[in-house]
Amino acid sequence: MAVDPFGMAEHRFRTLQEERRQGVLDARAFRAAVRGLAVVDGEGRSWVLGPEDGSWYRHDRERWVPAEPPRRLVCQRCGQHNLTRHTFCVECGAQLNRAGL
């Protein structure tokens, strides 16, 4: 089954935020944990979440720039990642759930 690394990082970020709010993590440990959520996309680009608000940043040459990560529609039936322009899964033909976009 395919996994959405951006969605997983966002979910973990929310968990870390809650741990920070509850005092389980201090500021330094929180920032270190957020740095550990970096993602490399299918084209080899590096992405990180900003610890302040969870916004995505993409490494562009020598700096980090705010950007939206490439989103995929994950088929509920087979787990295939599909481009957002698709209505039906390219693998199994099931209709894709567009509610999350």
Encode pLDDT of 42-65 as tens digits. Answer: 788 999 999 999 999 999 999 999
This prediction has a pTM of 0.72
Domain count, the chain: 2
- 81 and 57 both lie in a single domain: no
State which residues form the domain around 45.
5-69
- 64 and 99 both lie in a single domain: no
CA-to-CA dists, residue 49 to 15, 92, 96, angstroms: 13, 33, 27
The pLDDT of residue 97 is: 82
- 40 and 58 both lie in a single domain: yes
Of 66, 60, 13, nearest in space to 37 by CA: 13
- 89 and 65 both lie in a single domain: no
- 62 and 87 both lie in a single domain: no
Residue 55 near residue 49, CB atoms below 8 Å? yes
Q: How far is residue 35's CA from residue 21's CA, in Å, rounded to a whole number?
A: 18
